[in-house]
Structure 1
Amino acid sequence: MSNTETPAAPTPEPNRETSTVAWYDFAPLIKPAQMVRLKGSDKRLAFEQLVASAARALGLGASQQVDLSAAVQAREAALSTQLGPGWAAPHCVMDVPERLTLVVGRSRAGIDFGRTELGRVHLVFLFVSGPDGHDEYLRAISSLARAFRDSDRDTRISRVLAADTPARLAAALSERVERGRLVVSRKLPAVTRALIRHLLKFAEDIEAEVILLFADVFTKPEELAPLITRRVVLASRATSLPESLVSRAKGYVRLAHDQLSHESAFQLAMLHAGARGLTRGGLVVSACGDKGSDDLDSIRIERPDLMFLRVMDKEGREIVMPEVLERSLEIAVELAEQGREGSPVGLVMVLGDYEQVKPLTQQLTINPFRGYPENERSLLDPALEETVKEFAAIDGAFIVAGNGVIQSAGTYLSPPAEVRVELVSGLGTRHRVAAALSKATEAIVIVLSQSTGRVTVYRQGREVMAVTPPRARIEYGGS
């Protein structure tokens, strides 16, 4: 018998993909009443909702609830509890018998925690620990930090937002995210299949803030579900998307009409997304194609100009309701692409700050909207769309209040002569007057050029947005 010992086999290092991870079990902590749908985007209001739920769960009296609220707010004032993109975890200690109490707040629109580099918060985990619950809290927060690591974060957030029971919510927080190869229907064109497979990876590599995906390109958009993460903003043209798909995305933009070029659809979708706080100026990757074609044939990489985003910042929203600006632009773009009765038309729309605008105007013709009640003069009323387009042929501008009520049409604009503006080369008097009026007041002014079809938006004397739709559907008379 040999005395030579057989060397022991080396102990294999654990495989990161196959090793077992001890996830924290959140199931005992999550109750239906402690799953809160947060209202609005204000952080303080979100905390109040979460504290109220925690107080009920702990059986706190009114004074104790006030103390809990003060502790949470003080902790936030000292140091932000947003721990990563999309999630936050405020925590406080109270003299309560429960070792650890958890309330989960969820918001699809997102809560502004003031950390612009991390974006809005969609999940808020409020922890209240008792005197002997600190170790339990550390295990829970450590598990959350692992759950929301960069590689899995978007998928995890989507699952937590979509969870409709405590068991599913706990599972979404406690289970490993499987990231297999994305399976795409082979009925789609080969180029589209390859594009879908690599779209998310590409956006991650270039650190894109948003993927703007026109899901109405697909005849069965629900098949896109594996693609949709919290980085994706879905868009459609005059078509509704399945709620099961929309609930997985960062947001959803539905354009009112489908007769739009890809360029116009992209610009309008970006405006909608900006107005809803879905993009903050980072890189945007957009994927579009003809509606119902199952073929994504148009890819763009854009970084929206900061002045463009300013058109609907907080100050802008106080001057003009976002839906009024969106509706006005839709009408202008439709007129640019379709004209009226086969002929191109021009348009000027002055939105908001009516009290300051009014002294700088005079009526060229009889005001066709005079004498009608406000509810019959709303630009947001679909029944008024054709009327507005017909009156676009009248010389002069539409004057529209910030809430969408049309004050007049056929109105001459007369900004102060001393107001000076700089314009893009080739633009004429109509654009100069519009830009000057936007500088002299707080109004937002939209101009459609009859000669070129270019739609320009002015604010504070500067061009903040421009769309030039194709005019393939307008037939010109003559030679």
Structure 2
Amino acid sequence: MPLAHYLNAIRFCLLKSETAEAAIGELVDLLCETRPNLNASTVLEAVLVREHDVGTNISSWLAVPHARLPDFGHPQITVGLCRQGLAWGASSECSVQLVVLLIGDEADRHDFLSVLAMLARTLQHRTIPPSLLSAENGEELYRALLQCASSDEDGVDSDGQAASEAVYESACSMAEKTGAGCLLVIADQPSGLDFAANHPAPCQTLLVTNPRHQINSPDLPFDHLFEIPLHGILPRHALDFALLLLISRNRLTLDDTIVCLYGSSGAARLDTIRLLNAGEDLRVPLTLREELVSGIIDFQVLLRIFTLASELAHEGREGKPIGTLFVVGDYEQVQHQCHQMVINPFKGYSDHEKNILDPSLAETIKEFAHIDGAFVIRGDGVIMSAGSFIRAEVMGEQLQGGLGARHTAGQAITACTNALSLVLSESTGTLTLYKNGSSMLSLKRGS
């Protein structure tokens, strides 16, 4: 959810306190006015304990005291402004003017950290925004912070947009000079790309974006739009997967030259151009072309598996990282190379009730990811089993150091069958796709 969802005008105020502890107490009291079931003393104690362990001033003017409480529910934000500043922590240079109190649920670490990250990203300025400092009351402070949040969610930064436009113009020029067959743009969100209409490309233009962000404009200046819901994947690895998608859609041929444009990790603008030749540079994705184009493995099934695995990498389960293994395709051979470690939770259900493309199965699959063993999935998406132990005797190439039994099993099953396997590493969150006993694609998460 966007940050604006967590902002409520009645929980904004101008602080009267002169110390950090008193300011926190003032915000706790304001929170409890809207949540009468809360015990102010309990909340205050939890926040002060956290504050004592690690100071929460994240800039010279901003502090975000926070805590997680049992059975609290969705995260709640309370905000106070102190124009003259408050001494905060051990730093003599810290005179905090904006205090944002964040309280979340002890059992929901992911949602809590997401809100904390949104706050940090929205308020990452070196100095306090004038619109916040000039607020005369809680209502004005609310509107000012809401405006900051909206600007962040729109992702439209005038300097970054100007830089992106200059790089896009250069990419169009490169496409013309090289006779490229397509210009591929990868952007986490599509807002702020309207400038593309001012620079007609000499070839087809393709935009790959993340469906987490709502596309408000139906008239984006690109010939085709594709969505790959891979959360937090490094941009260069997102490019690899985007190219695999385009190959499966027959958007690329062996003779195509492709100009690729994306942002470096953590950047809010387009800043990297790569020139690729499909026949020479896409040998790995092209090895999957036959299965995907022929329908032996439905690309939507593979995309869904990647989506669920990337969500597990991003979210974990119950606040902890998790690893799992998906095996897809060539079920007739795969079933002879594995046996059940536990009773198969999918046995007895009809094919349409256990197809991985059914979005209602997402939480079920994520829960069963806790079970040791693999998900075994037919090429059409029907989940045949979970908790399957792979006992393939044929091994593929030597594994990279540090990889364990899950990767060994994922590699081995593809060495003796025509299946693909996708392994989610519990320790790193990396997704690795195997075929013919070899690693075909590795998608690493950003920091």
Give the TM-score category using the shorter length: 0.5 to 0.7
Query: How far off is 1:357 after superposition?
Result: 0.9
For 1:159-174, list aligned pairs within 5 A. none
2:176 is the counterpart of 1:194: no
Contact 2:248 2:292 in 1 (8 A): no
Inter-CA distance 289–433: structure 2 relative to 1 (3 Å threshold): same
Contact 1:268 1:326 in 2 (8 A): no
Contact 2:327 2:422 in 1 (8 A): yes
Letter in 1 for 2:227: R
Inter-CA distance 469–381: structure 2 relative to 1 (3 Å threshold): same
Matched residue SS, 2:295: helix
Query: How far off is 1:197 after superposition?
Result: 1.8
Query: How far off is 1:333 after superposition?
Result: 2.3
Which residue number corresponds to residue 372 of structure 1?
349
Q: Which of the two has higher C-alpha Rg?
A: 1
Contact 1:221 1:241 in 2 (8 A): no
Inter-CA distance 358–289: structure 2 relative to 1 (3 Å threshold): same
* Number of residue-to-residue matches in the alignment: 283
User: Which of residues 197, 200, 204 in structure 2 aligns to 1:225?
Assistant: 197
Which residue number corresponds to residue 39 of structure 1?
none
Deviations 1:301-326 (A, max 9, x none): 45543122212325774321111111
Which residue number corresponds to residue 69 of structure 1?
none
Contact 1:222 1:242 in 2 (8 A): no
Inter-CA distance 257–318: structure 2 relative to 1 (3 Å threshold): closer
User: Which of residues 411, 420, 424 in structure 1 aligns to 2:395?
Assistant: 420
Contact 1:216 1:291 in 2 (8 A): no
Matched residue SS, 1:192: helix
For 1:187-336, list aligned pairs within 5 A. 189-214=161-186, 217-227=189-199, 229=201, 230-238=203-211, 239-240=214-215, 242-245=217-220, 248-249=222-223, 251-256=224-229, 259-280=232-253, 282-289=256-263, 295-302=269-276, 304-314=281-291, 317-336=294-313
| Aligned mates of 1:285, 1:293 — CA distance in 2 | 19
TM-score, normalised by the number of residues in structure 1: 0.53
Which residue number corresponds to residue 139 of structure 2?
none
TM-score, normalised by the number of residues in structure 2: 0.57
Contact 1:288 1:297 in 2 (8 A): yes
Query: How far off is 1:292 after superposition?
Result: 13
Of all paired residues, the percent bearing the same amino acid is 33
| Aligned mates of 1:226, 1:300 — CA distance in 2 | 21
| Aligned mates of 1:435, 1:291 — CA distance in 2 | 29
Matched residue SS, 1:319: coil
Which residue number corresponds to residue 430 of structure 2?
454
| Aligned mates of 2:182, 2:170 — CA distance in 1 | 15
Deviations 1:76-106 (A, max 9, x none): xxxxxxxxxxxxxxxxxxxxxxxxxxxxxxx
Inter-CA distance 444–241: structure 2 relative to 1 (3 Å threshold): farther
Q: What is the Cα-based RMSD across aligned positions, in Å?
A: 3.0
Matched residue SS, 1:245: coil
Query: How far off is 1:212 after superposition?
Result: 1.6
Query: How far off is 1:259 after superposition?
Result: 5.0
What runs of 5+ residues in structure 1 fail to find an aligned partner?
1-184, 473-479
Which residue number corresponds to residue 390 of structure 1?
367
2:436 is the counterpart of 1:468: no
Letter in 1 for 2:248: A
| Aligned mates of 2:216, 2:197 — CA distance in 1 | 12
Contact 2:231 2:311 in 1 (8 A): no
Letter in 2 for 1:356: Q
Query: How far off is 1:267 after superposition?
Result: 3.1
Contact 1:212 1:286 in 2 (8 A): yes
2:335 is the counterpart of 1:361: no
Matched residue SS, 1:252: strand
Contact 1:369 1:406 in 2 (8 A): yes
Letter in 2 for 1:194: A
Matched residue SS, 1:365: coil
Deviations 1:360-393 (A, max 9, x none): 1100011111222222211111121122122111
User: Which of residues 373, 378, 381 in structure 2 aligns to 1:404?
Assistant: 381
Which residue number corresponds to residue 23 of structure 2?
none
Deviations 1:207-239 (A, max 9, x none): 544322135645344442244543321111114
Inter-CA distance 241–423: structure 2 relative to 1 (3 Å threshold): farther
| Aligned mates of 2:251, 2:377 — CA distance in 1 | 26
